[in-house]
Amino acid sequence: MPNVHVAIIGAGGVGKAFISQLAGYATRNPSASLATILISRSSKALVSRDYSPLNLNSWSQDLASAAATAPLAYPTEALEFLKAAPGPVILVDNTSDESLAKSYPLFLSNGIHIVTPNKKGFSSDIGLWKDIYAAAANGGNPKGGYVFHEATVGAGLPVLSTLKELVETGDKIEKIEGIFSGTMSFLFNSFAPLDGNNGGKGFAACVKEAQQLGYTEPDPRDDLNGLDVARKLTILARLSGLEVASPTSFPIQSLIPGPLESAKSADEFLEGLGAFDGDMTKIKEEAEAKGAVVRYVGSLNVETKEVKVGLQTFDKGSSIAGLKGSDNIISFYTERYGGNPLIVQGAGAGADVTAMGVLGDLIKVLQRLK
Amino acid sequence: MPNVHVAIIGAGGVGKAFISQLAGYATRNPSASLATILISRSSKALVSRDYSPLNLNSWSQDLASAAATAPLAYPTEALEFLKAAPGPVILVDNTSDESLAKSYPLFLSNGIHIVTPNKKGFSSDIGLWKDIYAAAANGGNPKGGYVFHEATVGAGLPVLSTLKELVETGDKIEKIEGIFSGTMSFLFNSFAPLDGNNGGKGFAACVKEAQQLGYTEPDPRDDLNGLDVARKLTILARLSGLEVASPTSFPIQSLIPGPLESAKSADEFLEGLGAFDGDMTKIKEEAEAKGAVVRYVGSLNVETKEVKVGLQTFDKGSSIAGLKGSDNIISFYTERYGGNPLIVQGAGAGADVTAMGVLGDLIKVLQRLK
């Protein structure tokens, strides 16, 4: 097999972790003949014009040196560079860039493989989803590249691979339910813990604490609006056979009180949130009166075609209520598994476990190139 | 791609479910060009001498008709037949036959792929494990066939695939712990339930009930001796990098009281077991006094190289204690996942979910044949 060329776009938290894991993998598996030919950030790039391998140990310094150039223009200039590589190319998109995702069909139809934790391509308009899979080898195009995106849901947890295997082997998905956001998991585990005692903290104080500990986006509204969870549900629904038009085409319960949607900053938002603590406390206490806890979940039902994201109460003995820290949990209810679902649980966010999901996908491509 | 030939040995519970699932898969994926050329039971076989596809809808009647012949002699006659097929061959071993497992290296080194839920090849002497992987494409032999055995641990649950991906992407396995036997899961969930109240049933009564409900082997000693769990731990340990010599080379706590090991029948054993109820009740009550429950688990620790199988107590709030019915649970503690393990949970036994694990492996082979 000729060299397999790896082109990496995005070198932030996940990108850095990915490059480090890729370097380890390449060292342990010299026969995989991996050559990284592109490492690109938003303002600078390392481009190996002769397709010889970039140095994965000094890339960070090299990006700051005279060796760095301006990034290739997407998609045309990048496509020309990658198409001319003397062997297979795997494009690793470690960004969350929607415009790059819109070029996936072009790259794939030119035989370039794609692995990515970027949700945008798979959770935006259904038209883009269809174009991506129509262009891909694993969507029916024999000349296309492979596309894998395990880390778009649950980071490194085996969520999409498990769902695909259930479907491919002929099981019938009935329902998928779970906690898909590390932020929401942490937030409700601290606001409404199993033992009911959180030291009297209101919801706003819990949000502020989560923000300070780095569990939320810089502006917590980007978590509390529910869109991140809705994007993950969109991906799961589509892989389960439901044609979800977009991540906003089903009910999403936002935890941002209406009057605060227009708050001018995260601080102003957090300032105002305390005034709504009573509403959340009431929901929490109503759940407790029934021996339950409130959690922020996503769920889909294949038969009723219902997809939804929002607050629900769960019996204290349930797996969802028992979740700890910022873990995710995903329960697959299927015909074969019957009443007790197949469950996958663990950290669903973080640079290392996300990068692991991306590298796992890259290995899946390598296995198909032999 | 030429026809891919499937040769199925074993058509009992799992074998029947597998053939039914395979028929569905072949119908949904005509481009996979699957041709089943052998369906073999212990006394009779359907052999397609001209390599045209056997009928997967009438195979059961055909096996009872004049179309059936004596099984091919293993390994020589079977190998000659499979080697002469005009295209790739996947051997599906749905037996629990150790002598067939001993022939895997021979089949693999002749380019024949193997998928199987049969634990014997992977959990017996370490020499056989090494021979199997040395002969396989996914063990370093470029001319060998692929071998996959997901269903040897946790049936259709993604256990081995998850472990392999953790290892391949460079994570460090620290500890694996879990309940690996549906029988033991059911038994202890009914003997020592979370709420402490099982209606006053002793351990022997629980075993008898589990046997009557079909949750144990016909002779419950085949479950209670712990060897089934030990075989699964052996496989997990080897994939984690521990050279376990055999499934009896580490401590296994048998739940068969010494004086009953020589009981002449399952009935005589069950008759005598009640006399030892006091021992188990004491263990159960000691756990309860600590707010815990007793469970039959397997665990391995990579750093201390410790592998063990037996009774342990678990805090009532733990995931292991919260398991329901006859479910399995497997917790992977790794460097990347830190304190909260990656957990896979669900039914770990039963014909349909086991067959699904085998068919999933067959699909993995197909993906690598392109």
Query: In chain B, what are the domain boundaries?
Result: 4-155+352-369, 159-347
State how far residue A272 is from chain B, nearest Cα, in angstroms. Answer: 34
- Could you say which of B24, B171, B317 has the minimum Cβ distance to residue A170? B24
- Could you say which of B24, B162, B168 has the minimum Cβ distance to residue A158? B162
Residue A65: other Cβ atoms inside 10 A: 11
Nearest CA in chain B to A19: B169
pLDDT of residue B1: 56
Tell me, yes or no, if A232 is annotated catalytic: yes
Q: Which of B184, B305, B331, B191 is nearest to B251 (CA)?
A: B305
Specify the CATH number for A159-347; select among 1.20.120.640, 3.10.290.10, 3.30.360.10, 3.90.1410.10: 3.30.360.10
pLDDT of residue A370: 65
Show the beta-strand stretches assigned E in chain B: 4-9, 34-40, 45-47, 89-93, 113-115, 147-148, 173-179, 292-301, 306-315, 327-334, 342-347
Residues A167 and A175: their CA atoms lie apart, in Å, by 13
Residue-averaged pLDDT of chain B: 96
CB-CB contact of B163 with B332 (8 Å): yes
**Is B226 assigned a ligand-binding role in the annotation?**
no
Cite the annotated binding site of A by residue number.
10-15, 95, 119, 217
pLDDT of residue B214: 87
| Residues in chain A with pLDDT values less than 70 | 1-2, 370
Helix (H, G, I), strand (E, B) or coil at A135: helix
pLDDT of residue A2: 67
B143 shares contact with chain A (CB less than 8 Å): no
B259 shares contact with chain A (CB less than 8 Å): no
Q: What is the pTM of this model?
A: 0.96
Helix (H, G, I), strand (E, B) or coil at B212: helix
B69-114 pLDDT tens trace? 999 998 999 999 999 999 999 999 999 999 999 999 999 999 999 9
| A 188-217 residues with CB < 8 A to B | 194
Does the beta-carbon distance from A356 to B156 stay under 8 Å?
Answer: no
Domain A4-155+352-369, second-level architecture: 3-Layer(aba) Sandwich (3.40)
B281 shares contact with chain A (CB less than 8 Å): no
Question: Helices then strands (H, E): number in chain A?
Answer: 15, 11
pLDDT of residue A196: 85
Could you tell me the two tokens for B341? 């393990």
Nearest CA in chain B to A354: B336
State how far residue A263 is from chain B, nearest Cα, in angstroms. Answer: 36
Could you tell me the two tokens for A207? 């949000």
| Residues in chain B with pLDDT values less than 70 | 1-2, 370
CB-CB contact of B134 with B341 (8 Å): no
A33 shares contact with chain B (CB less than 8 Å): no
Same fold, B4-155+352-369 and B159-347: no
State how far residue B3 is from chain A, nearest Cα, in angstroms. Answer: 17
Which residues of chain A neighbour B171 with C-beta distances below 8 Å? 356
Does the beta-carbon distance from B346 to A345 stay under 8 Å?
Answer: no
State how far residue B336 is from chain A, nearest Cα, in angstroms. Answer: 7
Which residues of chain B neighbour A166 with C-beta distances below 8 Å? 356
State how far residue A349 is from chain B, nearest Cα, in angstroms. Answer: 10
**Angle at which helices A351-369 and B160-168 cross, to 10°:** 100
| A 78-137 residues with CB < 8 A to B | none
**Is B14 assigned a ligand-binding role in the annotation?**
yes
Does the beta-carbon distance from B356 to A171 stay under 8 Å?
Answer: yes
| A 304-323 residues with CB < 8 A to B | 317, 319, 322
pLDDT of residue A317: 84
Rounded alpha-carbon distances, angstroms, from residue B14 to B117, B331, B354: 9, 26, 7
B164 shares contact with chain A (CB less than 8 Å): no
Q: Among all chains, which residue has been given the structure tokens 């003397």?
A: A86
Could you tell me the two tokens for A52? 């010889």
Could you tell me the two tokens for A279? 């509403």
Nearest CA in chain B to A161: B158
Does the beta-carbon distance from A170 to B28 stay under 8 Å?
Answer: yes
- Choose the catalytic residue: A102, A232, A282, A324: A232
Which residues of chain A neighbour B360 with C-beta distances below 8 Å? 165, 168-169
Which residues of chain B neighbour A194 with C-beta distances below 8 Å? 317
pLDDT of residue A218: 87
Q: What is the ipTM of this complex?
A: 0.96
The long-range contacts involving B214-219, CB below 8 angstroms and separated by at least 24 positions, are B215/B182, B215/B183, B215/B186, B215/B187, B215/B326, B216/B183, B216/B187, B217/B183, B218/B266, B219/B265, B219/B266, B219/B269
A291 shares contact with chain B (CB less than 8 Å): no
Residue B182 host element (H or E): helix B182-191
Does the beta-carbon distance from B347 to A340 stay under 8 Å?
Answer: yes
State how far residue A24 is from chain B, nearest Cα, in angstroms. Answer: 7
A254 shares contact with chain B (CB less than 8 Å): no
**Angle at which helices A13-28 and A351-369 cross, to 10°:** 50
Which residues of chain B neighbour A34 with C-beta distances below 8 Å? none
Could you tell me the two tokens for A125? 């308009």
- Residues sharing a CB contact under 8 Å with residue A139, sequence separation 6 or more, in sequence order: A132, A133, A147
Q: Which residues pair with A45 in a beta bridge?
A: A40, A69
State how far residue B139 is from chain A, nearest Cα, in angstroms. Answer: 13
B337 shares contact with chain A (CB less than 8 Å): yes
B338 shares contact with chain A (CB less than 8 Å): yes
**Is B15 assigned a ligand-binding role in the annotation?**
yes
Does the beta-carbon distance from A166 to B28 stay under 8 Å?
Answer: no
Does the beta-carbon distance from A345 to B157 stay under 8 Å?
Answer: no
- Choose the catalytic residue: B102, B120, B208, B232: B232
